[in-house]
Amino acid sequence: SKMFRTSKVLNPNADTIEKLQKMANSYQTSDQFRAKAFRQAIGALRHQDQLIRTYQDARKIGIGDHIATQVAEIVSTGRYKRLEYAQNNPRTQIVKLFTGVYGVGEATADRWIAQGFRSLDDLRQKADLTPNQQIGLEHYDDFQQRIPRDEVGQHAALVEKALKDTDTKLQLIIGGSYRRGSKNSGDIDCIIFMEGADIVHLRTLMIDTVIPKLMAEGFLKVALASGHSSSDDSSKWHGASALPESNVWRRIDFLFVPWEELGAALIYFTGNDLFNRSIRFLAGKKGLRLNQHGLYKDVMRGPQRQRITVGTLVESQDEKRIFEILGVPYRPPQERNV
């Protein structure tokens, strides 16, 4: 199936795609037309079963002159000079430095560069920082580090204890890269649920009891407003935690999942993001729609493919059932690192 073609092991063009993707990202703010051309080329490569090796191969699948030359360079030399140049560009390095601050996106990084800031010290001394960014900057090195798997488990154990002390029916599954079996994780993704409970119930228990308890213990350090300040999402809580006796702060997310939606939420919050994109794409091909809330059928679309109705729920509770209905063999989380 198409879903498997995006996997690194099975897509012969994975290396080319990865390099072109980085190039596309580097053009995203400076040249959106060019970025789009790269994304289209990537789309064409994703659908190939064969390695696209030469300029002619690339042209044949609809890739334009310039990018076709670059595809041939990547495959024949294993290098990609244009990308190496872009990545060594001092401006790119500074954007990378600045977007490494929690709560900072490319737009903010660009603005800071335009204001003349070049280092984290410049930001500390001169930039106008949101409370999130202030914390992000103070704990820059902590948040940049990956968290060893064993430590993720220790954080989760402390969360689990607070859950059980509040209500024995509260449950936790560690999602994200941890559930996919990674040796280390960027953050701790705690999927919180309870038989029969909806978001309001979970959120109340978490916000009124569990989180204050963990704050009082000194395990939770701070709440962080979610990245997108516009969409204040009541189903998530972001913050930082540290093990007793440790001053290393880790990023921790609590995701409140209604019991009925557990299966769809597990798929979404297990990822990875590329796997999610391909399984959603596959659902679309079958006339279905998959999101973090469920798998839907009969989604009515208008002439521009815009959704007119949300459709009818087909399944949302059972993770394996969702794979079954999509007609793909169940993939255990460790096999979702695409």
Residues that bind Mg ion (rule: CB under 5 A) add up to a total of 3
Of 66 and 236, nearer to ligand DCP (C-beta) is: 236
| Residue 269 touching ligand DCP (CB under 6 A) | yes
| Residue 176 touching Mg ion (CB under 5 A) | yes
CB of 254 to ligand DCP, least distance (A): 12
CB of 292 to ligand DCP, least distance (A): 8
Of 249 and 269, nearer to ligand DCP (C-beta) is: 269
**What is the rounded CA–CA span in Å between residue 239 and residue 221?**
7
Count other Cβ atoms within 10 Å, centred on residue 293. 17
CB of 154 to Mg ion, least distance (A): 16
**CA–CA distance from 231 to each of 131, 198, 227, 237 (Å)?**
18, 20, 9, 13
- Within 32-91, the residues that bind Mn ion by CB under 5 A are none
What 3 state SS string does 192-235 have? EEECCCCHHHHHHHHHHHHHHHHHHCCCEEEEECCCCCCCCCCC
Size of the chain, expressed as the number of residues it contains: 338
Q: What are phi and psi of 258, to 5 degrees?
A: -60, 140
| Residue 187 touching Mn ion (CB under 5 A) | yes
Count other Cβ atoms within 10 Å, centred on residue 49. 9
| Residue 261 touching Mg ion (CB under 5 A) | no
294 binds, among Mg ion, Mn ion, ligand DCP, none (CB under 5 to 8 A by kind): none
- Residue 143 structure tokens: 């948040």
| Residue 241 touching Mn ion (CB under 5 A) | no
- 118-122 LR contacts (CB < 8 Å, sep 24+): 118/94
Of 228 and 305, nearer to ligand DCP (C-beta) is: 228
> Which residue type does 171 have?
Q
Under 8 Å between Cβ of 85 and 27: no
| Residue 278 touching ligand DCP (CB under 6 A) | no
Beta bridge partners of 297: 312
Q: Interface with ligand DCP by CB under 6 A: which range of 116-124, 128-136, 242-250, 264-272?
A: 264-272
269 binds, among ligand DCP, Mn ion, Mg ion, none (CB under 5 to 8 A by kind): ligand DCP
Sign, CA dihedral 152-154-156-158, equals: negative
Residue nearest to ligand DCP (CB): 271
Under 8 Å between Cβ of 172 and 163: yes
Which is it for strands 188-194 and 250-256: parallel, antiparallel or unpaired?
A: parallel
| Residue 311 touching ligand DCP (CB under 6 A) | no
Of 176 and 294, nearer to ligand DCP (C-beta) is: 176
CB of 253 to Mn ion, least distance (A): 4
100 binds, among Mn ion, Mg ion, ligand DCP, none (CB under 5 to 8 A by kind): none
- Contact residues toward ligand DCP (CB under 6 A) are 176-177, 185-187, 189, 268-269, 271-273, 276
- Contact residues toward Mg ion (CB under 5 A) are 176, 187, 189
